[in-house]
Amino acid sequence: MDVREEVRAKYAAAATSASGCCGSDCGEFGSGLYSEAERAELPLAAVEASLGCGNPMFVADLREGETVLDLGSGGGIDVLLSARRVGPTGKAYGLDMTDEMLDLARRNAAEAGASNVEFLRGEIEDIPLPDGSVDVIISNCVINLSTDKPAVFRQMYRVLRPGGRIGVSDVVAEDRLSPTERAERGDWVGCVAGALSRSEYEQGLRDAGFTEVELTFTHAVADGMHSAIVRAVRP
């Protein structure tokens, strides 16, 4: 089984069991990274299906009327929170490649009564939206799962409007760790082996055309591996 199919299988299983987490230590991943008030806003199934390494709501700075896209939207927790923040004049898209997660997310959206959301099936390396169609891209511990991160960064740049921005949470390695050392700390589907280093991540975004790139470690998930918040702007 290749990495993409392994990832798909893991998250399909997580959707149907409504349990699990991104890494081996669930204390560093999942719904506990959201405030009690945020969790209270949402259907329980959306909260239980949260597998990420951070809370993009801390960094996205969403505004009324904006269009936001969540890459790897899973059970829909970040899409539903985003939809509330952009309001009825805004729109929140969720993109996921796992049918089971999409089914769960759509059920959660219906239960929440969210009318300004849309969940799309697709891969983050080939986003099924037009050029310049969103204001903000968020993502929660998903980009590290891609086997073609330059393609992801190019696609993010393409679908953002000029002046658009990204605010994502992801697992990032310290520059001192080689790819082999990252793999020793966890597997790919556990959001560890596929993580970029800080300098690789920053340079990858710049190579795609982004400016104002900022990457801040928030908490450790393994030796030399951190959850990080990443910001950048499409000029």
Tens-level pLDDT at each residue, the chain (235 residues):
566 666 555 555 655 554 444 554 444 444 444 455 555 555 454 444 445 555 666 667 899 999 999 999 988 988 998 999 999 999 999 999 999 989 999 998 999 899 999 999 999 999 999 999 999 999 988 999 999 999 999 999 999 999 999 999 999 999 999 999 988 887 666 677 789 999 999 999 999 999 999 999 998 989 999 999 999 999 9
φ, ψ for residue 172, nearest 5 deg:
-135, 140
**Which residues, listed in sequence order, are joined to residue 134 by a DSSP beta bridge?**
160
Q: What is the pLDDT of residue 20?
A: 46
Domain ranges in the chain are 3-233
Domain 3-233: which CATH class? Answer: alpha beta
**Which residues, listed in sequence order, are joined to residue 69 by a DSSP beta bridge?**
93, 137
136 Cβ neighbours under 8 A, 6+ residues apart: 60, 62, 66, 67, 68, 69, 164, 165, 166, 167
d(CA 67, CA 89): 9
Start-end of H helices in the chain: 3-17, 36-40, 44-48, 57-60, 77-86, 99-112, 149-159, 179-184, 198-208
Tokens for 56, please give them.
């993009």
d(CA 118, CA 95): 9
Q: What is the pLDDT of residue 156?
A: 98
Is the C-alpha dihedral spanning 141, 144, 146, 149 positive or negative?
positive
Q: What is the pLDDT of residue 17?
A: 57
* This prediction's pTM: 0.84
Q: What is the pLDDT of residue 25?
A: 47
Q: What is the pLDDT of residue 97?
A: 94
d(CA 128, CA 121): 8
On whether the CB atoms of residues 160 and 68 are closer than 8 A, the answer is no
Tokens for 182, please give them.
């990252």
